[in-house]
């Protein structure tokens, strides 16, 4: 089959790889009909390269049709239409019992000290072949895949794999009080969707990004927007947001940017240096001394009102990140973060999508492309060129 593979920094290639097959009686194999490109894939493209191996099949936002099921699978039949959450989780261990699916004890990666395995997401997360491919092996098939109805086109349901539950969890963790104000840093797919959801709940939303067309998307749905570059010409984002919130700051901030934030020159150089080292040197360096680009997180800490909540949904990977503990302690900041527990939210969200499109998912993707165009799509998505916000591949 054809699959998008990582071959090196900035080097994704679509090549022929062996078809996946049933390896455990609890597996299913799906024929992928749509599969998303995510901001998280961009970390593999560059910053986390030390944990990738040439040939790794990437992608973690797939949906499709069940092609084959293992002998122990009873909930799923050939021909079912399913979306696959990005966490590989068993559904039956202690942490899964707590709905902490991104921490599944059955698939945790003890060698690296990390949580549940993820599809297509490096050695840190199990090196599980990913979903930007024609076919995908899905473990724990009685629990993991989300069956979705026939009828609407793929885009209605595809974002249940990541964007919708991730944005939903970020919003729940932000605990915005009724009638409160939420600052959303980043207007990529995740920040955009979070803003849409918060607006629907009746919150006031202020979105920040440096890409004009991304801001225009959230503005069209009712968010107030701040251009990062413009704000930096003044006293910065936090001050601009205070001006908009009675000098107090927003009740909550969702940080939807992550470890490659714009405006972190020193850490950018460090990350680039690490990617130039051989893996054997870069891997321990990134794990023990890795530093994230913290510009957005600093803004969140500065901007949030005293006693407010910061919900970090952007992915971080560093181990020695300098944080302003005095400011965080003194302001009584509440902090929540983590990889989304996708399966915890999918039933609730699916119920909202079956007859309606409250979050505008039908027109959320900016580009639908064949898998063969993945290398160029990664490049344009990273450089934020040609209006690329959300790419969906159709293998």
| Member of 4, 5, 35, 39 binding ligand NAD (CB under 6 A) | 39
Which three-class secondary structure string do you get for the chain? CEEEEEEECCEEEEEECCCCCCCCCCCEEEEEEEEEECHHHHHHHCCCHHHCCCCEECCCCEEEEEEEECCCCCCCCCCCEEECCCECCCCCCHHHHCCCHHHCCCCCECCCCECCCEECCCHHHCCECCCCECEEEECCCCCCCEECCCCCCHHHHHHHHCHHHHHHHHHHHHCCCCCCEEEEECCCHHHHHHHHHHHHCCCEEEEEECCHHHHHHHHHCCCEEEEHHHHHHCCCHHHHHHHHCCCCCCCEEEECCCCECCCCHHHHHHHHHHHHCCHHHHHHHHHHHCCCECHHHHHHHHHCCCCCEEEECCCCCCCCCCCCHHHHHHCCCEEEECCCCHHHCHHHHHHHHCCCCCCCHHHCCCEEECHHHHHHHHHHHHHCCCCCCCEEECC
Of the candidate residues 26, 34, 35, 40, the single one contacting ligand NAD (CB under 6 A) = 40
Q: How many CA within 13 A on the CB side of residue 106?
A: 13
Residue 90 binding target from ligand NAD, Zn ion, none, CB below 5 to 8 Å by type: Zn ion
CB 300 → ligand NAD: shortest distance, Å? 9
Options 88, 93, 274, 340; binder of ligand NAD; rule CB under 6 A: 340
- Shortest CB 78 distance to ligand NAD, Å: 30
Cα pseudo-dihedral 170, 175, 181, 185, rounded to 10: -20
Interface residue with ligand NAD, options 263, 290, 308, 318 (CB under 6 A)? 263
**Can residue 314 be called a binding residue for ligand NAD (CB under 6 A)?**
yes
Those residues with Cβ within 8 angstroms of residue 180's Cβ, 6 or more apart along the chain or in another chain: 203, 204, 250, 251, 252
For residue 139, the partner it binds in ligand NAD, Zn ion, none, with Cβ less than 5 to 8 A by kind, is: none
* Contact flag: residue 26 with ligand NAD (CB under 6 A): no
Minimum distance from residue 79 beta carbon to ligand NAD (Å): 29
Could you give the C-alpha distances from 340 to 137, 172, 250, in angstroms and in order? 21, 11, 23
Q: Which is nearer to ligand NAD, 73 or 270 (CB)?
A: 270
Minimum distance of ligand NAD from residue 189's CB (angstroms): 4
Number of residues that bind ligand NAD (CB under 6 A): 34
Encoded one letter per residue, x for contact with ligand NAD by CB under 6 A and - for no contact, window 362-381 reads: --------------------
Residue of 180, 258, 290, 318 interacting with ligand NAD (CB under 6 A):
258
The site partner of 56 among ligand NAD, Zn ion, none (C-beta below 5 to 8 Å per kind) is none
Binding mask 163-202 for ligand NAD (x = CB under 6 A): ---x------------------xxxxxxx-----------
Q: Which is nearer to Zn ion, 122 or 181 (CB)?
A: 122
Looking at the Cβ atoms of 211 and 365, the one nearer to ligand NAD is 211
Among ligand NAD, Zn ion, none, partner that 96 touches (CB below 5 to 8 angstroms by kind): Zn ion
Minimum distance of ligand NAD from residue 117's CB (angstroms):
14
Q: Which residues contact 92 (CB under 8 A, 6 or more apart)?
A: 106, 143
Looking at the Cβ atoms of 117 and 166, the one nearer to ligand NAD is 166
Torsion, CA 59, CA 61, CA 67, CA 70, rounded to 10: 80
Q: How far is the CB of 16 from ligand NAD (least distance, A)?
A: 28
- 208 touches ligand NAD (CB under 6 A): yes
Among 93, 215, 267, 295, binds ligand NAD (CB under 6 A): 295
Residue 186 contact, options ligand NAD, Zn ion, none, Cβ 5-8 Å cut-off depending on partner type: ligand NAD
Binding status of residue 267 toward ligand NAD by CB under 6 A: no
Q: Least CB distance from residue 92 to Zn ion, whole Å?
A: 6
| Residues contributing to the site for ligand NAD (CB under 6 A) | 38-40, 42-43, 162, 166, 185-191, 208-211, 214, 228, 256-258, 261-263, 295-296, 313-315, 339-340, 384
């Amino acid at each position: 089959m054809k699959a998008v593979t990582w071959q090196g920094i900035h080097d994704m290639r679509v090549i022929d790889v062996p078809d996946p097959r049933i390896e455990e009686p609890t597996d299913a194999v799906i024929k992928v009909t749509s599969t998303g490109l995510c901001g998280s894939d961009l970390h593999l493209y560059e910053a986390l390269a030390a944990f990738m191996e040439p040939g790794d099949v990437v992608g973690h936002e797939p949906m499709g049709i069940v092609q084959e099921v293992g002998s122990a699978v009873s909930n799923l039949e050939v021909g079912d239409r399913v979306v696959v959450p990005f966490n590989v989780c068993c559904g039956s261990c202690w942490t899964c019992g707590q709905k902490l699916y991104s921490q599944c004890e059955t698939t945790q990666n003890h060698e690296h000290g990390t949580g549940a395995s993820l599809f297509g997401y490096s050695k840190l997360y199990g090196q599980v072949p990913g979903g930007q491919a024609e076919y995908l092996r899905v473990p724990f098939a009685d629990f993991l895949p989300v069956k979705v109805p026939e009828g609407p086109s793929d885009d209605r349901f595809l974002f249940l794999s990541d964007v919708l539950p991730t944005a939903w969890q970020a919003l729940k963790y932000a605990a915005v009080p009724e009638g409160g104000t939420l600052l959303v840093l980043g207007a990529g797919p995740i920040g955009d969707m979070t803003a849409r959801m918060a607006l629907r709940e009746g919150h006031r939303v202020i979105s920040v990004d440096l890409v004009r067309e991304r801001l225009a998307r959230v503005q069209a749905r009712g968010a107030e927007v701040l251009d990062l570059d413009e704000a930096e010409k003044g006293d910065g984002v936090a001050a601009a947001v205070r001006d908009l919130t009675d000098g107090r700051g927003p009740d909550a901030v969702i940080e939807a940017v992550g470890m490659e934030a714009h405006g972190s020159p020193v850490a950018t150089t460090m990350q680039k240096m690490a990617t130039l080292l051989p893996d054997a040197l870069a891997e321990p360096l990134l794990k023990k001394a890795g530093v994230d680009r913290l510009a957005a997180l600093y803004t969140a800490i500065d901007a949030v009102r005293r006693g407010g909540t910061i919900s970090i949904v952007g992915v971080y990977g560093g181990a020695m990140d300098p944080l302003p503990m005095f400011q965080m302690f003194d302001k009584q900041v509440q902090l929540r973060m983590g990889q989304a527990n996708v399966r915890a939210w999918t039933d609730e969200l699916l119920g909202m999508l079956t007859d309606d499109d409250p979050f505008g998912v039908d027109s959320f993707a900016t580009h639908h492309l064949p898998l063969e165009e993945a290398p160029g799509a990664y490049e344009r998505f990273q450089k934020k060129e040609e209006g690329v916000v959300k790419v969906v591949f159709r293998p």
